[in-house]
């Protein structure tokens, strides 16, 4: 198994990755990768029904909150912790990250969102891109595993740099949320691309922060997002599972 411990201190986007390594991130975090990400809105569907998110500006503000104070911030920290645990051979830290990834969710639907995607991701990695790190995770973790931990373990096991993985994961999350908003008719395609472009620096900053963070830094203050995910459980008509 490659020792990637030194890479944890590198810049969030490694500019000289081998093409094959870049391809792994593009494949794994593509909307076409079969983890079911398209089925989840992270509470955004209910936020739209409440009128909290209703146009380009309100959506950009909502997503900025998730990057800086909400679910994406914590996902990046969990991914980073899992990546480092594999790189340093720290089974205790790996088990803790896996446990927290499932437990650190504000609602039943958000728990389903992360654990179902984590499970599906690991199935596909085991089938097409097997590595010792994923088998180690299955041995160490005793319960459900969150999506960011699964991605972090696979990336570390395949020597994909931490910074690049964090940036790609964050951008994929924002891209999926924009796709959700388009399906809900909150915005159109062009506004979606404008939002992604505007939020890219924030994603990079969050990736840089997460690369140096520990599990002690987990925490959030995106209360409306959490409330929306709770309220979504009883939304009568809906397109998404969260």
Confidence of residue 16 (pLDDT cuts 50, 70, 90): low
Say whether pLDDT at 68 is over 60: yes
Mean pLDDT value across the chain: 93
Say whether pLDDT at 12 is over 60: no
Query: What digits encode the pLDDT tens for the residues 105-122?
Result: 999 999 999 999 999 999
Confidence of residue 4 (pLDDT cuts 50, 70, 90): very low
Q: How many CB atoms lie within 10 A of CB 116?
A: 20
Among residues 161, 216, 189, 200, the alpha carbon closest in space to that of 63 is found at 200
Say whether pLDDT at 8 is over 70: no
Say what the pLDDT of residue 20 is: 85
Per-residue pLDDT averaged across 79-103, rounded? 98
Structure tokens at 137: 């995770």
The answer to which of 19-28, 94-103, 125-134 has the lowest mean pLDDT is 19-28
Say what the pLDDT of residue 231 is: 96
What is the domain partition of the chain in residue ranges? 44-232
Selecting from 1.10.10.10, 2.40.110.20, 1.10.4190.10, 3.30.2350.10, what CATH number does the domain 44-232 have? 1.10.4190.10
Say what the pLDDT of residue 9 is: 39
Query: What digits encode the pLDDT tens for the residues 121-179?
Result: 999 999 999 999 999 999 999 999 999 999 999 999 999 999 999 999 999 999 999 99
The owner of tokens 């959030």 is: 220
Residue 41 burial (CB < 10 Å; 0-12/13-18/19+)?
buried
């Amino acid at each position: 198994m490659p020792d990637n411990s030194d890479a944890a201190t590198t810049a969030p986007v490694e500019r000289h990755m081998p093409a094959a390594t870049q391809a792994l991130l593009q494949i794994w975090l593509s909307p076409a990768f079969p983890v079911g990400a398209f089925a989840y809105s992270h509470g955004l569907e209910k936020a739209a029904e409440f009128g909290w998110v209703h146009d380009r500006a309100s959506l950009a503000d909502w997503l900025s909150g998730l990057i800086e104070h909400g679910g994406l911030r914590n996902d990046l920290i969990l991914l980073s912790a899992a990546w480092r645990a594999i790189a340093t051979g720290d089974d205790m830290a790996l088990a803790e990250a896996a446990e927290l990834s499932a437990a650190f969710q504000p609602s039943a639907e958000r728990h389903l969102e992360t654990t179902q995607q984590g499970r599906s991701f690991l199935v596909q990695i085991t089938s097409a891109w097997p590595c010792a790190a994923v088998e180690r995770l299955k041995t160490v973790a005793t319960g459900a595993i969150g999506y960011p931990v699964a991605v972090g373990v696979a990336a570390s096991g395949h020597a994909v740099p931490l910074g690049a993985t964090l940036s790609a994961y964050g951008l994929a999350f924002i891209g999926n949320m924009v796709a959700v908003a388009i399906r809900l008719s909150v915005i159109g395609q062009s506004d979606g691309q404008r939002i992604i472009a505007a939020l890219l620096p924030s994603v990079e900053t969050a990736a840089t922060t997460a690369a140096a963070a520990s599990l002690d830094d987990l925490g959030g203050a995106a209360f409306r997002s959490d409330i929306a995910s709770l309220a979504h459980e009883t939304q009568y008509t809906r397109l998404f599972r969260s």
